[in-house]
Amino acid sequence: MTSLLPPESVTAVGAHAALGRIGEPDDIAGAVTWLPSAEAAFVTGQSILVDGGYNIGGMR
C-alpha cells in the first residue's frame, strides 16, 4: 500500500505509531493465522486492530 508514497511520508506515518514503524505483511499474517486457531476458539464478536499502536495517537 505504501509503494507509491515518497519515503518521507512512509517514515512519518511509521513514526506516529507506538511501535515506531509501519506494518509488514507478517504483522497482519500473525493475526490472520491466530484467529482460526485453537488459541482463539473462545474469541467472538471482536474487531482486532493490527496497527502497531497507530490509533493510540488519536486523530490527525
- pLDDT for 18-60, tens place per residue? 999 999 999 999 999 999 999 999 999 999 999 999 888 666 5
Q: What is the pTM of this model?
A: 0.68
| CB contact at 8 A, 38 and 3 | no
Class of the CATH domain delimited by 7-57: mainly alpha
Q: What is the DSSP letter of 5?
A: S
The pLDDT score that the predictor gives to residue 56 is 84
Concatenated DSSP letters of 16-48: HSTTSS---HHHHHHHHHHTTSGGGTT--S---
The pLDDT score that the predictor gives to residue 59 is 61
* Residue-range domain boundaries for the chain: 7-57
| CB contact at 8 A, 29 and 49 | no
